[in-house]
Structure formats: structure tokens, C-alpha cells
With several copies, the nearest count.
Chain A
Amino acid sequence: MTDLIRMEAIRKQYGNVVALDGVDFRVGEREIVGLLGDNGAGKSTLIKVLSGAVPITSGTIRLRGKPVEIRSTTDAIACGIETIYQDSSLVPQLSIARNLFLGREPTKGPFGSLDFEAMHAAANGLLRRVGIEKDIPPDTPISSLSGGERQAVAIARAMHFANDLIILDEPTNNLGVAETQGVLNFVRSARASGHSCIFIAHNIHHVFQVVDRIVVMRRGRKVADDIDPKETTVEAVEEIITGMTADGRPVA
């Protein structure tokens, strides 16, 4: 079976800073990959490359075996890639419902009028599905939500428009207990319904609960791949991340 996504020898420089230094990375069909690594390891950069937010310096990307060029977010969307960024991907001035459907608004009538009824109904359902219990009217602007509520809206959007590959960059940040469970459930159900997923988080417990395979990055390089969470421990992975080998010596 060919992989859904295969990135080969990806290199990305910002000026003099090498953020990605020849990284190979793949995601299979219906696979949840956990991407771990310390701060500044290059995780966000790697997935931004995939979602068209930053151009690569060199390297190739294949989608189901065919080479693709992802130069813009439009390209990425065309490839079936959907991303929730670590930094805000919401428009603070717009309402929850408008943000949820941004770019894919349902319309009705001959004049392309927004279908507010459908949008609001769907918004209410989605927020509850992520674990928001409070009744928040869907026309509330994002700017008057709490940090976690914002994150929940972003997740709800990805759920609704689930695509071939869903990328979640630290989605559980800011989230409370119930909302975190909502996200983890969503990731599990995504696989069940045939999607693949890249899951980035610093909370290794969350990662262990849902992923099929763990990849670890360090200082722009991939330092481990094919880790099966069922066959290792949180502590062992932590050691890889922080760069201490199992026997206690620093790696680099």
C-alpha cells in the first residue's frame, strides 16, 4: 500500500536558521501519526510545509505516490489537507458560526445568501461535540471567547470539514478536561471514518492515547520513527525527545 503522504529530504531555511535539515516523513492511509519534539524542534515548520504556509528550500512531497507541489494553502486544500495551526487560525472579529464555515459557507436562495439557520444549527451541534457544555450563541464574536473556547472552535471546524489528512498542531493546548476528551475522541473517530491525522502535542499522555505511530524530531532532524506507543513507555519517549539516550548520555 502506498502512503498517503511521503515527504523526502525536506529542507527549510529561514535566513541562516536551518529549521528542517533533510527530514523524511510519511503518513499512511487511515493512520494517526504522533509528531513529538522539544520546543523549536521543527514540528510546526514541517507541517506548515505540508499545508502550504511556508515554501520549502528543497525536498519532494508525494501524495499517494505522485509528486505534488504545495506552494499555497489552496494547493494543500486541493490535496485534501486540513490544518489547525498552533497560532490562531480564527478571525477574531467574526462570529463563531462565520468562522466555522469560513471558506466553505453554505448558501441558499438565488442570491447566494448565507444560510444562517443551517450554520447556527451546525455550530451548536459541533460545539457540544467538542465538549463545550455552556450555551454559547453561535453569533458570539471569537474575540469574546476564552482561550480554550477559541481552541475548541478551531477543532470543531476541522471535525466538520474532515479531509483526507487532518493536521492538528498542539490542539489540546488551552483545553479543559472535557474538551480534551472531545478532541481525542474526534481523532479516534477520524480514523474510523477513513481519515489520516498528524497529531502534535507536548502532553505525551494525550499522544499515547490516540496515535498509531510516533515520530520524534530534534533540532530540525528526525531522530526516531516507527515508535509503537503500545510497545514503549511515556518515559522512554521522553528520553528520546529530550535527547538523552536510554543509558543516560546526551545524544548530540
Chain B
Amino acid sequence: MTTRTPLERLIAMPEFGPLALLLVEIALFTAINPTFLSPLNISNTLTFTVELGIIALAMTLLMTSGEFDLSVGSMFGFAPVLMWTLFNANILPFGAAFLVAMLVAAAIGLFSGLFVTRLKIPSFLVTLGMLLVVRGTSLYITDGFPQRTWSAEGTWLATILVGDFYVGPFRIYASLFWFIGLAAILGYVLNRTKAGNWIQAAGGNPLAARARGVKVGRVKVALFMLTASCAAFAGMISSIRTSAANPNSGTGYELEVIAMVVIGGTVLTGGRGTILGTVIGTLILRVMRNGIVLIGVPGLAYNIFVGAIILGMMALHSWLERRHNAGV
């Protein structure tokens, strides 16, 4: 075994492919429209990116353990609706309403998790059912009306969650720190703790893990709860920031979030996951959407470009992988 230079080690990392893709993408968009790298645009892109990113981080752990959750999008819409309903109806103060929404989300995650692990129903069906129930509930409790959101600004909770300030020309929201913090914690958990080892084992070979006394079911249930909570959290910060609580928000996020995780290198069938990869995957997808608007693609062709870029990047990725495997 020869020792490697740092560059070689970088190239050998599984996250190298996605990282290269991200850089290529940024370079391309900047070449076409230099506004792309303006502080305003960077701040703007980051804002929503980190909200989706928070869900993607939790989903990374869940997918590593061999399951996934299709209900995150509807949870993203449901939690803020619940919070604002409780608050607007004067049932609870703001902080308590926030807490209750988080608890309800965790309870729903618990329910999905138990369904999957105890009844042995594929997570596809359980979370698809849950998607419909949760989305339906937000519609039903609001009667379809968006909730009013005027009175959050300035409360200490709102400041902690989405307060914004300027760092030089960059407008930074507090949510960025939540994202970075969560990425650091979950990355640490996945790679360097006992829990992380159990998560990977649960996804890699559940029978073997169980035979070693790993509580595979409990690990998965906990991750379902984490994912649901993170989706609710992301939904609420997004709602406070955009001052909107619409029962429809978050529609379709499930596929986008899973795509972020998979592009980052986490395996769809479990056993291998990377938080760093997910951070990069999240950036790849959101930067792409921002860039497409910025370079002025016609509105109706938007989806064609998003799709074609995903396909193109995956082809590039596969080519990088192959070169890399052949090269060593």
C-alpha cells in the first residue's frame, strides 16, 4: 500500500464527483451571467437552499438506514399551518405553538416508523399514505385558506429561527447556521458515533445487525422521527421567513429532497451515506434552479433544462467515476 498525496486522497473521496459537478456548474453559470456570483444572488440562493437542505440532511441518515420518507413535503406544509392555526386562534402563544407543531411532527414520524418496522410494510407505501393524510389534514383544518402570519416578526423565537443580518454585502439568515450546525452534528453522528455505526449496519445488512443486538427497528423509528421533525422545522422557518402558511406548500419536495441525497452519493437502498455529499448535492440542485432563471431560460422550458442538466451531470459523474477507477 503506497501512501497518497493529499490531492490523490481528495480525488479518491466519494464526494469528489459531486464536488467537481458543483464547481463545473458554478463556473458555467458565472460565465454566462456574472450576476450569478453577486452577493445579493448568493444570499438569495442560500436562503431557500438551506431550508430544503435541513430536510435532506435528516433524509440522508434515514436513507442510509435503508428507508425513505415521501411525506416530508406535506410535513413541510402541515407544520406551519398547525403552528399558525394554534397561534391565530389564540389557543397557544407563539413559542408553545412552535413546540406543539414539532411534537406532532415527531409523533407522525413515530407512527410511520412503527408502521414500517413493526408491520413490515414497505416505507414507500407507508409514507405515501402518510403524505396524503398529512396533506389532507392541512387542507381540512384550514378549510383550504392560507393562515395569516403577520405577528411573528420580532419575537425572540422568530429571531433565533430566521433572523437576518448583513455580513459585508451578504444578507445571512439564521437558518444558515441551523443548517451548518445540523450538518456538522449529523455528519459527526453518522461517521464517528455508535449510533452512526448502527445506522449504516441497519441499512447494509439488517439481519447481521440484528444478530449483533443492534436495535434495527428502534434506529429506524428514531430516524423517521428525526426526518419528520426536520421537515416540520424547515417548513416553519420557511413560513416565518416568507410570511406565508399555505396548506399546499412543500408539494413535490419529496422527490427533490431524495434527489439531493442521491446525487450526493448516498445509496437509495441503504448502507452507505454521506452528509458532506448531501450538502454538495443540495447545492448542486438549488444552484441549478437559480442559475437557470438567471441565464434567462424561457419559463416553459424550465423543466426541460432542470431535467437535462440532471441527466447531463449524472453522465459526467459516471464518466468521472470510471476514469477515477481506471486511473488508480
**B-contacting residues of A (Cβ < 8 Å)?**
13, 15-17, 51, 53, 72-74, 77, 83, 85, 88-94, 98, 101-105, 107, 111-114, 116, 137
Contact = CB atoms under 8 A, between A and B. Distances in A.
B139 to A, nearest CB: 41
Interface string B183-216: 0000010001111111011011101111111110
Contacts of B12: 15
B271 interface: yes
Nearest to B195: A112
Contacts of A112: 193-195
Nearest to A102: B212
A63 to B, nearest CB: 17
A84 B265 CA distance: 32
A89 B1 contact: no
Given A92-B205, A137-B1, A53 B197 contact: no
Contact-residue bracket for chain B:
20 to 34
A96 to B, nearest CB: 13
Interface of B: 1-2, 4, 12, 188, 192-198, 200-201, 203-205, 207-215, 271-272, 328
Contacts of B200: 91, 93-94, 98
A159 B128 CA distance: 45
A15 B1 CA distance: 9
B204 A103 contact: no
A15 B328 contact: yes
Contacts of A114: 192-194, 196-197
Contacts of A16: 1-2, 4, 328
A102 B2 contact: no
Contacts of A85: 211
CB-CB nearest 4 A-B residue pairs = A103-B212, A91-B204, A93-B271, A93-B204
A72 B210 CA distance: 9
Given A93-B200, A114-B197, 6 more contacts: A93-B271, A94-B201, A98-B200, A113-B188, A114-B194, A116-B192
Scoring A15, A114, A116 by chain B CB atoms within 10 A of each residue's CB, the highest score goes to: A114
A191 B201 CA distance: 31
25 contacts: A13-B328, A16-B1, A16-B2, A73-B211, A74-B213, A74-B215, A77-B213, A88-B208, A89-B208, A89-B211, A89-B212, A90-B208, A91-B201, A91-B271, A94-B197, A94-B200, A94-B201, A102-B197, A102-B209, A102-B212, A102-B214, A103-B214, A111-B188, A112-B195, A114-B196
